[in-house]
Amino acid sequence: MEARERTEWMTMRGGARAWAVWGIALSAYVVAVLHRTSLGVAGLDAQQRFGIGAGALASFAVLQLLVYAGLQVPVGVLLDRFGSLRLIVAGALIMASGQLLMAFADGLTGAVIARVLVGAGDAMTFISVLRLVPQWFPTKRVPVVNQLSGIVGQLGQVLSAVPLAALLAGPGWTTAFVSAAATGLFVAILALVALHDTPERRVNTGAAISARKLGQDLRSAWQHPGTRLGLWTHFTTQFTGTVFALMWGYPFLIAGEGLSRGTASTLLTLFVLVGMIGGPLIGVVVQKHPLRRSWVVLAVVAANALGWGLVIAWPGRAPMAVLLILVVALGLGGPGSMIGFEFARTFNPPNRLGTATGIVNVGGFVASLVTIELVGLILDARTGGRADYDITDFKVAMSVQYALMAIGVLGILRTRRLARRRMAAEGVHVRPLREALADRGWFSSERIGKG
């Protein structure tokens, strides 16, 4: 290859090199999701190892998510300053050290510190990947590559649900967590060796952090109702799936529904696959109908509510068909939550996109940690802290999700109204969906009048 060709290849956006760099960053996110979800598959083992009840077990995940959510905005600021490469490597190393600690922890203190480290490293990873994408791909491809990043990253759950669960069931706790730590170390080295912040620069250092600018960006991003619409979108769509994958899905399927570990792992894998198929479909709908994104969000929430409704209303244990409907509905939550980031991107100027993205990303994780804790407390209250739950205990505990869904939907409807008002003031009028559908002959005008 001649020097000129090599320079073009090195700086080309969207080419093979871009995909290779993205793949390396993505592998760090996949492993972050593996670490994040590892306690979900190890939940029952953790209860035995540390002699704890459901509430204490839930507190581990809650703490991890608290750290994750609390660090979103500060990490966004650090990202602007230090770039994706340094944050991805740091995140991978921090998570690996947390998993190593967990491997040898035989008391609660070690386990708690381990989960804090996992939450902190995890907080650095996804938004660093999102930050890398516009540097490496043409603008028009950014939404699709972002969706792909979110979707493919969830393969980390498959790594927890299948190989990690197999290691737990076979060689046991220490081998499983040491293996997870080793995987983390591997992706850290890979990123250190091969990741580049931009096509032109290996490391891209941003402007020094100023408290005044930070305050301004935070205020402006928060004050735009579009950012808060993103936050409520992320809050409402993501939490049911996260609670399922991260903490209560596995115990619910095994202890509640009476499935084997293998079948539960298969259902958790299906949950990820549904997201992988649903993501691009949702992406296409959103791309074609950008002014109807909130309806896609509400449809995803309705599917989640329906899925849980069927399981809860079913007398006793639900048949496999009903569990499949639940898993398919939950699988749509992750791709649905990516619409939250789309709201952040389209309602904010590029210079405060990192801040707005951080704010949006807090939503789903706050909703998840609240739900995980509440489910744990309800289970504990029903069983007196013993891990011998039955299906009724889970049905009662899982019903708490409807309260979070209701709060989220109210948040979406309110901020959507405010965002539309702001758009109207800027000359963009969004017609009510019924009117738009009526124009296409979906409803008669008399029915609209009554609606």
Interaction site with ligand LKAUPR5Q (CB under 6 A): 126, 150-151, 154, 238, 275, 279, 334-335, 337-338, 361, 364
Q: In the block, which residue shows the tokens 């593996």?
A: 34
Rounded Cα–Cα distance for residues 278 and 427 (Å): 33
Q: Least distance from C-beta 116 to ligand LKAUPR5Q, angstroms?
A: 16
Rounded Cα–Cα distance for residues 13 and 214 (Å): 30
Q: Least distance from C-beta 118 to ligand LKAUPR5Q, angstroms?
A: 12
Q: Which residues, 6 or more positions from 420, have their beta carbon under 8 angstroms from its beta carbon? A: 430
Using CB atoms, what's the residue nearest to ligand LKAUPR5Q? 334
Q: Which is nearer to ligand LKAUPR5Q, 112 or 338 (CB)?
A: 338
317-332 burial code (b ≥16 CB/10 A, e <16): ebeeebbebbbbbbbb
Q: Least distance from C-beta 443 to ligand LKAUPR5Q, angstroms?
A: 33
Q: Least distance from C-beta 172 to ligand LKAUPR5Q, angstroms?
A: 28
Q: Least distance from C-beta 185 to ligand LKAUPR5Q, angstroms?
A: 20
Q: Which is nearer to ligand LKAUPR5Q, 185 or 277 (CB)?
A: 277
Q: How far is CA 243 from CA 330, 340, 376, in A?
A: 10, 18, 11
Q: Which is nearer to ligand LKAUPR5Q, 28 or 103 (CB)?
A: 28
Q: Which is nearer to ligand LKAUPR5Q, 332 or 379 (CB)?
A: 332
Q: How far is CA 389 from CA 113, 220, 310, 380, 386, in A?
A: 28, 47, 20, 9, 8
Q: Least distance from C-beta 154 to ligand LKAUPR5Q, angstroms?
A: 5
Rounded Cα–Cα distance for residues 332 and 75 (Å): 27
Helix (H) or strand (E) holding 172: none
Q: Are 426 and 419 in contact (CB under 8 A)?
A: no
| Orientation of helix 108-136 relative to helix 54-104, angle to 10° | 80
Q: Which is nearer to ligand LKAUPR5Q, 198 or 237 (CB)?
A: 237
Rounded Cα–Cα distance for residues 245 and 278 (Å): 17
Q: Which is nearer to ligand LKAUPR5Q, 143 or 150 (CB)?
A: 150
Q: In the block, which residue shows the tokens 């889970």?
A: 394
Q: Least distance from C-beta 314 to ligand LKAUPR5Q, angstroms?
A: 26
Q: Which is nearer to ligand LKAUPR5Q, 173 or 248 (CB)?
A: 248
